[in-house]
Chain A
């Protein structure tokens, strides 16, 4: 199928989606392309867009040409005739404080939790807590009238789809025997360590006082449970909504391409299919026209080898994405402005 213009798949998506979840392996330029999608939606489709990132590298801020991304969305100057573009960098620590403030049943629970010595490490390192926070904010933002498109740049984690599992994991955790065991010393002072193999092992490994702090923390956290679970379910509704679309990003190198295929497979297990694949840093197609005979003509051996290496890369095969539209995005050094970002897709191959 011939596209009418090289950037048609991306424009079709930007005209209709209300949430875009940008996924892909680490190091492929996901954050930059999330910003570029936002810029394009604003410049070419006059939409009111929020781009959310939890990437601690703050590359989005650089790409958008704003000095820093704060906890509250910042309006990015997008030029005349454009829609409106906001950017938000989710701050883990403050988001958790806010979450606790919102969900805590009373002031005492809130302050005890905030003062627990493990609170900070636990909330910033808790299994998939980054992912959960990102999604928790998503639930807020989707309902915010200021935006008609929210673009989420997923955190770089070993489990790139952890972000999608985070709500269920939270529900699981609170509903499971795990939290019962963890808080057992509180529920019933008579439960001796020896009664639970976990406590027996944990106490010998970690020592009693530390274990008590952990139990304390989870006991306090369980007061937040009903609200947590309710929110997690809301987030799941957003993730499954028909206008929530998924954009896969990878680069032409074999490893990221392979990882993207694997990601797509696990995405499919969750019932999601990417609506678009962006192949970032794609080689200029003009390179594909160069013949081996031409290369052989180069007299200088070292130059010939270096050119051959460049061409080998340009000729790499792309994974087969079936019916999913693919857009190749060339390498761009100059992404200093929103207009530059929006233009990334004009040069699409």
Chain B
């Protein structure tokens, strides 16, 4: 077995050198609604699960919402809760996971806002039509989703609502739906409801977005583009960036030290290759971390580890949204 313990210590000094300063939870807003965004495959669900668990661990009543309804969030939460984070000591709050489908959102929306009773057996076919129709008007499907989430924030018993958001391309539609819908369709209950939803999202005390990224070129570029769009096309505040799966880095003079190791007598071709890869990986990671630092947003780095959800909790990601 290789020694993996060192890689699972998220507070490594070489990670710290890139987090402008350690995020101080007490200086951050503590929004009740936290929406996570990031390219598919960067570990968005893992970070959402980690945040939800961290909040629950400090005694909060937490609702974790999966808007993709692909089961990823529930699986991530389940995988972690069997682990050490679920200790029963020190008043663990509560944690519920909700997966939103169009059908569910629609039936709940109709029930909550229209006070129209629809037999459960009929909501299925109606939702199917709605799937077609909602696709027609930008924002209709999104308003059903964000409407349900906003309702939970306003009316539900939650201290924290953590949303595992849609992939990068669709988060803007979700965040801007309340503000944009009125320009597309005429008057109707949907439009009438958008005002308060828009205000709830625009209030940084209530709502913040956390972007999740891995320190690779493509995800980083996409995240920088996303941050720009959130800042310019929506009124929603950004709490910070979670840089997930940061590989062990070589630190200052890393190149020289790698070259020295490669020159050692008896180094095999395979090891020489691995040393070279470790060097180029460390360099490219460094480059991406610098690009992310240029946003000036608070950042939290999570190492590459065996138990990713626990790592998110351990890395103090929750500090970004005011939870220490």
A interface residues with partner B (beta carbon < 8 Å): 25-27, 118, 121-122, 125-127, 158, 173, 177-178, 181-182, 197-198, 200-210, 214, 217, 253, 255-256, 284, 286-290, 292, 294-295, 297-303, 305-312, 314
Cβ-neighbour of A127 out of B3, B131, B261 (below 8 A): B131
- Which chain A residues lie closer than 8 Å to B191 at the CB level? 207
Cross-chain contact B274 with A307 (CB below 8 angstroms): yes
B118 and A201 within 8 A (CB) = yes
B185 contacts A by Cβ under 8 Å: yes
Docked CA distance A295–B185 (Å): 63
Distance A288 CA – B268 CA, assembled complex (angstroms): 12
Q: Is the CB of A182 within 8 A of B132?
A: yes
Contacts A197-B118, A294-B268, A302-B250 hold; do A312 and B278 have CB atoms under 8 A apart? no
* Chain A residues, Cβ within 8 Å of B40: 26-27
CB distance from A130 to the nearest CB of B (A): 12
**Is A204 in contact with B136, judged by CB distance below 8 angstroms?**
no
Q: Indicate if the CB atoms of B270 and A303 lie closer than 8 Å.
A: no
B98 proximal to A (CB < 8 A)? no
The answer to whether A206 and B249 have CB atoms under 8 Å apart is: no
Task: Verify A182–B129 contact, CB threshold 8 A.
Answer: yes
CB distance from A345 to the nearest CB of B (A): 21
In the docked arrangement, what's the CA distance between A138 and B229, Å? 35
Query: Do B126 and A310 touch (CB < 8 A)?
Result: no
On chain B, the residues within 8 Å of A308 by CB distance are 2-4, 7, 248
**Is A204 touching B261 in the complex (CB atoms < 8 A)?**
no
A27 touches B190 (CB 8 A): no
Question: Is A202 in contact with B133, judged by CB distance below 8 angstroms?
Answer: yes
B32 at the interface (CB under 8 A from A): no
> B122 CB to closest chain A CB, in angstroms?
6
The answer to whether B22 has its CB under 8 Å from any CB of chain A is: no
Q: Would you list 20 pairs from A and B whose C-beta atoms are within 8 A, ordered by A residue?
A: A26-B40, A121-B138, A122-B135, A178-B125, A178-B128, A197-B122, A198-B125, A201-B116, A203-B188, A206-B140, A207-B188, A255-B41, A294-B271, A302-B248, A302-B249, A306-B254, A306-B281, A307-B274, A307-B275, A309-B248
Is there contact, CB below 8 Å, between B188 and A256? Answer: no
Tell whether B263 is near chain A: CB-to-CB under 8 Å: no
* Segment 121-153 of B: residues with Cβ below 8 Å from A: 122, 125-126, 128-133, 135-138, 140
Known: A306-B250, A309-B7. A127 touches B135 (CB 8 A): yes
B109 to chain A, nearest CB (A): 8
Neighbouring A residues of B114 by C-beta, 8 Å: 201, 204-205
B232 CB-CB contact with A under 8 Å: no
Asked if A121 meets B257 with Cβ closer than 8 Å, knowing A205-B189, A290-B271, A305-B6, the reply is: no
B185 adjacent to A206 (CB under 8 Å): yes
Within the assembled complex, what's the spacing in Å between the Cα atoms of A288 and B185?
59
**Chain A neighbourhood of B154, CB < 8 A:** none
Chain A residues, CB < 8 A from B257: 300, 302-303
**What chain B residues lie within 8 Å of A311 (beta carbons)?**
2, 274
Distance of A286 Cα from B268 Cα, bound (Å): 10
Given contacts A178-B128, A303-B257, contact A201 B110 (CB under 8 A): yes
Report B20-50 residues with CB < 8 Å from chain A CB: 39-41
Do A303 and B132 touch (CB < 8 A)? no
The verdict on B247 contacting chain A, using a C-beta distance below 8 Å, is yes
Complex interface: chain A residues within 8 A of B247 (CB): 306, 309
B186 within 8 A of A: yes
In whole angstroms, what is the CA distance A206 to B187 when docked? 7
Is A122 a contact partner of B278 (Cβ separation < 8 A)?
Answer: no
Contacts of A290 in B (CB 8 A): 268, 270-271, 274
A residues near B126, Cβ cutoff 8 Å? 197-198, 201
Q: How far is the CB of A162 from chain B (nearest CB, A)?
A: 13
- Closest Cβ of chain A to B283, distance in Å, is 11
Contacts A309-B304, A310-B277, A312-B2 hold; do A214 and B189 have CB atoms under 8 A apart? Answer: no
Contact with A along B1-12 (1 / 0, CB 8 A): 111101100000
Residues of chain B within 8 A (CB-CB) of A125 are 135-136, 138
Known: A158-B68, A214-B136. 12 other contacts (CB 8 A): A26-B41, A27-B218, A127-B132, A177-B125, A182-B133, A201-B110, A205-B190, A206-B188, A286-B270, A292-B2, A303-B258, A307-B274
**Among B218, B264, B277: residue with most chain A CB under 10 A:** B277
Nearest Cβ on chain A to B34's Cβ, whole angstroms: 23
In the complex, what residue of chain B is closest to A251 when comparing beta carbons?
B41
B3 contact set on A, CB distance < 8 A: 305, 308
Q: Does B251 contact A (CB under 8 A)?
A: yes
Contacts of A307 in B (CB 8 A): 271, 274-275, 278
Within 8 Å CB of A289, what residues of B? Answer: 268, 270
Docked Cα-Cα span, A118 to B136, in Å, equals 7
Docked complex Cα distance between A298 and B267 (Å): 10
- Residues A286 and B248 in contact in the complex (CB < 8 Å), given A178-B128, A200-B116: no
Q: Within 8 Å CB of A210, what residues of B?
A: 137, 184-186, 188
Smallest CB gap from B133: residue in A: A214
Distance A163 CA – B273 CA, assembled complex (angstroms): 41
With a cutoff of 8 Å between Cβ atoms, the chain A residues found around residue B133 in the complex are 182, 202, 206, 214
CA distance A209 to B136 in the complex (A): 14
The verdict on B282 contacting chain A, using a C-beta distance below 8 Å, is yes
Q: For the complex, is B195 an interface residue (Cβ under 8 Å from A)?
A: no
Which of B122, B128, B129, B248 contacts A305 (CB under 8 A)? Answer: B248
| B136 & A121 in contact (Cβ 8 Å cutoff) | yes
Residues of B158-198 whose CB lies within 8 A of A? 184-191
Contact between chains at A286 and B6 (CB < 8 Å):
no
Minimum CB–CB distance for B268 against chain A, Å: 6
The smallest C-beta distance from B177 to any residue of chain A, in angstroms, reads 14
Residues in B219-245 with C-beta less than 8 Å from chain A? none
Bound form: Cα–Cα A125–B250 in Å: 46
B269 within 8 A of partner (CB): yes
Return A311 CB to nearest CB of chain B, in Å. Answer: 6
